[in-house]
Amino acid sequence: MFDTHAHLNFKDFDNDRKEIIEKSLSKGLGIINVGATMKTSKEGIKIASENKKVYASVAVHPLHAEEEFNFKELDKLADKKEVVAVGETGLDRKKKETIKKQRELFLKHMELAQKKNLPLILHSRKAHEETLEKIPNHKGVIHCFTGNLKQAKKYIKKGYMIGLNGIIFKMDLKKVIREVPLDKILLETDCPYLAPPGWKGKNNPLGTFEVAKEVARIKRVSLNEVEEITDRNAHEVFGI
């Protein structure tokens, strides 16, 4: 099974990163560490280069849209063999004052993904309709999906998977989970964030199993089926 959206490249894991990666891999998990800045994008590549079944995605997150960085450098990072996606990129209205800059950055990331033939990892907070208007028909995933079923179907029609993580324990997404086919779903944690209920400490890739159990419960299918199909989805989307 795959945690298709982790942030083990964040400083939150500086003291226990190696231990968590070893434990996750021993449980059969693959991991994609997703970049949010140039620094964390580079760190994700470094971690992937040191561990089998660990991969990286590169981008500057919309909440960092106004920070100075060299886009040509990001372009070069996207060529690294460890990189399997561009993201996370998109729109976040939590920071409305930077939305114009976010749009400019989002466009550059979409162009980069198309240029490199890499899938997109999309971030959209309170911006699903605009996101749907802007994105090309392309391969990728709408990370931490919080929209409705109609929006989920629109993303799928454009070629994107629906990313589910611990947000499903906080929001009522049961209709989306029931109606979206398993072959259109990816599992993730967004660790260190969005820990499952009762989780001790910060979230980590092992939380993927709790998300899988909840998806299996809501869809009334076996856990094994969820694990197998979402794992296959990850391999197909990210070319792993």
124-164 pLDDT, tens digit per residue, is 999 999 999 999 999 999 999 999 999 999 999 999 999 99
14 residue type, one letter: D
Res 73: pLDDT? 97
Give the integer Cα–Cα distance in Å for 149 and 146. Answer: 10
Res 21: pLDDT? 98
What is the residue extent of each domain of the chain?
2-238
Res 68: pLDDT? 86
Torsion of CA 158, 120, 214, 192, to 10 degrees: -160
For helices 208-219 and 223-238, angle between their N-to-C axes, nearest 10 degrees: 120
Write down the pTM of the prediction: 0.97
The stretches in the chain having pLDDT less than 70 are none
200 CB contacts (<8 Å, ≥6 apart)? none
Torsion of CA 2, 132, 73, 100, to 10 degrees: -140
Give the integer Cα–Cα distance in Å for 178 and 181. Answer: 8
What's the CATH number for 2-238? 3.20.20.140
Res 134: pLDDT? 97
Res 124: pLDDT? 98
Res 135: pLDDT? 98
Strand partners for 125: 92
117 CB contacts (<8 Å, ≥6 apart)? none
Paired tokens of 82: 């460890």
Residue whose entry in the numeric block shows the structure tokens 């994008």: 41
What would the DSSP string read from start to end of 142-158?
A: ETT--S-HHHHHHHHHT
Residue 69 near residue 38, CB atoms below 8 Å: yes
